[in-house]
Amino acid sequence: MGRRPVTSWANRHRSGYRRRRAQPLTASLRKFCVRPPEGRREKGAKQVILVDSSVWIDFFRGRNTAAVDQLSELLDEAAAPIAIADLALFEVLRGFRHERDYIAADRVMRALDVVMIGGDAICRAAAQHYRELRSRGVTIASPIDMLQATYCIEHNHALLHNDSDLDAM
């Protein structure tokens, strides 16, 4: 993932990093999230937001995107519980070339809940979603993205992403 040192969200704020003032969380997440139908959410259940590897990679590379701003806001304000899928964690951590960057990123990731997104039911549902999208002329390139989005739909979680493939879902 390059030679830039990894800076945590806390270090960005100490070093004068200024993010744009984001829209209110609920309105701005709509643009970047795969969301389940509202009727499927249990009353009083707090929504978990899975953060896709596309957002984490941009975050660790220091890119200034709207999705990274949302992630920074979620980390700063603890507005909602955030988590990462096990396979997305693999995607993020495998890209670090330097040990110190890997260690710093791993330290941040260890603070998150890790969700196992595979299993028989999710795999079958993901295959069905994939086939349905293909019949409409939409192809999702990454099987991990397909599993992750299906997991979010089936478990009533939001998915914060910066991946055009997932916009089709």
Phi, then psi, of 114 in degrees rounded to 5 = -105, 125
The tens place of each residue's pLDDT in the chain, 169 residues long, gives 444 444 444 444 434 443 433 333 333 333 444 444 444 445 556 689 999 999 999 999 999 999 999 999 998 887 689 999 999 999 999 999 999 999 999 999 999 999 999 899 999 999 999 999 999 999 888 999 999 999 999 999 999 999 887 877 7
Tell me the C-alpha distance between 32 and 54, whole Å: 11
For every residue of 48-104, DSSP letters joined together read PEEE-HHHHHHHHHT---HHHHHHHHHHHH--S-EEEEHHHHHHHHTT--SHHHHHH
Q: Decide: residue 68, CB within 10 A, 0-12 exposed, 13-18 middle, 19+ buried.
A: buried
List the beta bridge partners of residue 84: 114
Residue 158, classed as helix, strand or coil, is: strand
CA distances from 146 to 82, 151, 157 (A): 19, 9, 14
